[in-house]
Structure 1
Amino acid sequence: MTAPALSIPTTTLADGTAFPLIGFGTSSMKGVEGAHAIGAALRSGYRLIDSAAQYGNEAAVGQGLRDSGIDPDDAVVTTKVAGGDQGREAAREGYLGSLRRLGLDRAALVLIHWPNPSRGLALDTWRTLIDLKEEGKALHIGVSNFQPEQLQELIDATGVTPEVNQIQLSPALARPEAVAFHREHGIVTQAWGPLGGREGLAAQFALQKVATKHGVEPSQVSLRWAIDQDIVVIPKSMSPERQQANATLDAIQLDDEDRALLASLDLGEDAAWDSREHEEW
């Protein structure tokens, strides 16, 4: 029996564009198996697909999109400029290479993957993304793993605010200061690692208690917690059943008691990867 098509809620970007609150992460999904999983996710109703040059899987993402049979204009395909492609011209060349691998004329969203402050090229890269949007080669532009002060530097220098900042975020890393900064500036917060795998979140008693109370998986509680805050999540799974579960959250209604339990899991900002020190080239 075919599962019903997913009904995925949306938030809005600063310009009013609807943007899915639940997307599909693809890091580590490569080759035929990766393309198959991505195509299956799109056919089931996912529309936001997250990828990056650094993942080395853009060709698989493009193949999955073609195999899905959906109109490419209906998919919100994201890619990211790798650290080695930062700079005024290098960012353009890197992005055009991403489009070639994806098989697209433009991406719906392009992000700077990491600020890499030692290189000093984030601002030049941001200027290139602004140009690409103005030229119609990218619909929306943003960043990933930027701290509030790193965002402020881009805004102050160019007058253009990133539309999205994708950051490490889960109930184990709630990042309230970053989320508040994003809200103040009209930036959509997108969570990578929303299930807190690195932090051992799934094994925490408080999360399991909330999941048991609602008769759902701990992972579904973590995702519901995020989208209740208008935070976009991009869980990943090769399993069609898990893909379906990750985007079937409507019946979960967290209450104040649940939220208090989940707040007890926050390890604090110091436990997150600090992009003032951690770099990926």
Structure 2
Amino acid sequence: MEWTTLNNDVKMPMLGLGVYKVEDGAVTVDTVKAALDADYRLIDTAAIYQNEESVGQALREAGIPREDVFVTTKLWNEFHGFDEALQAFQDSLDRLGLEYVDLFLIHWPMPRFGKFVETYKALEQLYEEGRVRAIGVSNFEIEHLEQIIQSCSIVPAVNQVEIHPYLSQKELIAFCKRYDIQIQAWSPLMKGREALEDETIVKIAKAHGKSPAQVILRWHLQNGVAVIPKSVTPSRIKENIQVFDFTLTKEEMAAIDALNRDERTGSDPKEMHKIHY
């Protein structure tokens, strides 16, 4: 496993398990335990995923020391605002059954509401109180990050955004690198869509004796992007972490970079205003 050191010196695994839309209950518990058995040490959940309780149960049942697992959760859109964010964090903590989380993110900037700076200041208080080891944001564009950096005292440790070969986000990655903000990709495999069948990626995979998914994850990692692929299939969970034993060439990296077409599978952060899914 490769680790990155965040801008506050906290260490975070470069690869973890995302549990977006993983069914609450036994499915989430079994999935998280399978990942931990496969040596994953980062689990990424969120209030809106409605499976925080099951993630917490899996962590307890796995018997791995709490300090050895990096746990991320996120603040949902209806809880923007200082006091609302503090209460929502406590609710997440209670559902997880933990004394702290390693990373707490604002899930979406919700620019029409104009509250994300105020909300982030609540995260700063949680960090200063030691209730979270690092704070950050998710789905923030450059303009949103600039407002946080100008108005708040703690630069986000992480910005978690959609990135895959058809949405490379090079400008955003470069901006975050300037401020030592770690980029983390959600939907790193494009939700299993056509990127896995792209002839360029398939050709590179054959050359390395790896799967297209492994090649895409390796591309992210070599670009300095952390990843949280989702799977509920134990064999795929194992496959997704077996990406630290090969290296893509500069030519292969460039060939995958060239696939970008700015194609999103998720919402545009500037237009995302949903309160409920």
When normalised by structure 1's length, the TM-score is 0.94
8 Å Cα contact 2:10/2:133 also seen in 1: no
**In the alignment, does 2:152 pair up with 1:158?**
yes
**C-alpha distance in structure 2 between counterparts of 1:172 and 1:270, whole Å:** 8
Moved over 3 A (4+): 269-273
Choose from 36, 39, 45 the match for 2:39.
Answer: 45
In the TM superposition, what is the alpha-carbon distance from 1:271 to its structure 2 partner?
7.6
The aligned counterpart of 1:251 is: 245
Secondary structure of the structure 2 residue equivalent to 1:107 = coil
**C-alpha distance in structure 2 between counterparts of 1:265 and 1:38, whole Å:** 32
The aligned counterpart of 1:194 is: 188
**In the alignment, does 2:155 pair up with 1:137?**
no
**C-alpha distance in structure 2 between counterparts of 1:216 and 1:89, whole Å:** 48
**C-alpha distance in structure 1 between counterparts of 2:132 and 2:167, whole Å:** 30
**In the alignment, does 2:259 pair up with 1:276?**
no
More deviation in 203-212 or 140-149?
203-212
**In the alignment, does 2:95 pair up with 1:101?**
yes
8 Å Cα contact 2:31/2:234 also seen in 1: yes
**C-alpha distance in structure 2 between counterparts of 1:70 and 1:93, whole Å:** 28
**After superposition, what is the alpha-carbon deviation per residue over 1:69-95, rounded to whole angstroms, capped at 9, x for unaligned?**
111221110000000111110101111
Letter of the 2:196 partner, please give it. Answer: A
The aligned counterpart of 1:213 is: 207
Q: CA RMSD in A?
A: 1.5
The aligned counterpart of 2:53 is: 59
The aligned counterpart of 1:4 is: none
In the TM superposition, what is the alpha-carbon distance from 1:53 to its structure 2 partner?
0.2
**C-alpha distance in structure 2 between counterparts of 1:203 and 1:61, whole Å:** 32
Choose from 157, 167, 170 the match for 2:161.
Answer: 167
**C-alpha distance in structure 2 between counterparts of 1:33 and 1:272, whole Å:** 24
**After superposition, what is the alpha-carbon deviation per residue over 1:52-82, rounded to whole angstroms, capped at 9, x for unaligned?**
0011110111011111111122111000000
Percent identity between matched residues is: 38
**C-alpha distance in structure 1 between counterparts of 2:134 and 2:274, whole Å:** 23
**C-alpha distance in structure 2 between counterparts of 1:36 and 1:89, whole Å:** 35
Letter of the 2:235 partner, please give it. Answer: E
Structure 1 spans left out of the alignment, 5+ residues: 1-7
8 Å Cα contact 1:175/1:269 also seen in 2: no
In the TM superposition, what is the alpha-carbon distance from 1:199 to its structure 2 partner?
5.2
**C-alpha distance in structure 2 between counterparts of 1:70 and 1:209, whole Å:** 39
Count matched residues: 274
When normalised by structure 2's length, the TM-score is 0.95
In the TM superposition, what is the alpha-carbon distance from 1:269 to its structure 2 partner?
6.8
Secondary structure of the structure 2 residue equivalent to 1:249 = coil
**After superposition, what is the alpha-carbon deviation per residue over 1:210-232, rounded to whole angstroms, capped at 9, x for unaligned?**
11111110000000000112211
The aligned counterpart of 2:178 is: 184
